[in-house]
Amino acid sequence: MGTEPCRIGLLWPADGRNDKEFWRWLPKDVELLIARYDVGGSLDLEQLEADSDVDGILGAAHLLRHAEPQVLTLGDCAGSFVGGRAGNEEQSRAVTDATGVHAITMSTAFVSALEHLRKCRIAVLSPYSPDVTGRFRIFLSEHGIASVSNRSMDRESERDIGAMTARDWMREAQQATDAEAEALIVAGGGVSLYETVVELEQELGRPVITGPGALMWTALRHIGIDTALAGAGTLYVTKR
């Protein structure tokens, strides 16, 4: 019998539209297993707080555990930071306890990536409203990370985020990045920047870390897979 492939589980809100983006950040011999759960469909703060409730997430986690992933990832970026550091930790702990599989949120992945790159002064590009973006900045500050500049795009849905072109992202990234920023964080699970991340880094002169990229990178490291991936930007080539 051959060796079983490595499997990463993704717990993904039902309104997510960019599943293939997560695949792009993985080596070809790693499988991505996806289970969806219901959400309200809008990106206002009240709805995102409701979507962060762990009960819906646990339903998807219980289904996915039968496929025996080596690690579970939570793809709802805002849902993991709107409750601050404590809410984020409760999400991952609840999923881990319920399934026996280590769970990683997207917000935790951002922190891990920044710690790995040794960057603590960052620019934030957010698809969310200013009040939601403010929650993300608070979450980062709870981990000793200062957001020296930020830009909120105030998108109302994942449909709006998915409609953005590579040129749109380039323009927004340029406006979000301050000279003092050591890296740019692009918040949100619905962003699709794999194909342009290297160009963005060259244009801005600093690392660019996206939600899907950070989440898959952190999951790969957890299961002991080499994260060297050509064309995936600084995070995937920097070793510590």
For residue 4, the model assigns a pLDDT of 75
What's residue 1's pLDDT? 43
Q: Are 156 and 183 in contact (CB under 8 A)?
A: no
Domains of the chain, each with CATH number or no CATH? 6-106+213-236 (3.40.50.12500), 109-211 (3.40.50.12500)
Q: How far apart are CA 19 and CA 10, in angstroms?
A: 10
CA distance 22 to 179: 30
Q: What is the pLDDT of residue 5?
A: 82
DSSP label of 196: G
DSSP state of 5: P
Q: Is the pLDDT of residue 93 over 70?
A: yes
What are residue 102's phi and psi, to 5 degrees? -60, 135
Mean pLDDT across the chain: 94
pLDDT tens by residue, 141-191: 999 999 999 999 999 999 999 899 888 988 999 999 999 999 999 999 999
Mean pLDDT to the nearest integer, 9-20 = 93
Highest mean pLDDT: which of 44-53, 105-114, 172-181?
105-114
Between CA 87 and CA 123 the distance in angstroms is 23
For position 111, what pLDDT does the model report? 98
User: Is 123:176 a contact under the CB 8 Å cutoff?
Assistant: yes
pLDDT-derived band of residue 78, with 50, 70 and 90 as boundaries?
very high
pTM strictly above 0.85? yes
Q: Is 191 helix (H, G, I), strand (E, B) or coil?
A: coil
Please give the C-alpha separations between residue 227 and each of 119, 205, 230, 235, in angstroms, as whole numbers: 19, 22, 10, 9
pLDDT (average), residues 1-20:
86
Residue from 192, 159, 151 nearest 22 by CA: 192
Work out whether strand 121-126 and strand 183-186 pair parallel, antiparallel, or are unpaired: parallel
Digit-coded pLDDT (tens) for 219-231: 999 999 999 888 8
Q: How far apart are CA 96 and CA 49, in angstroms?
A: 21
Alpha helices in 65-165 (DSSP H): 77-81, 84-99, 106-117, 130-141, 158-162
12 has a pLDDT exceeding 70: yes
pLDDT at 51 over 60: yes
Lookup result for tokens 């963005």:
200
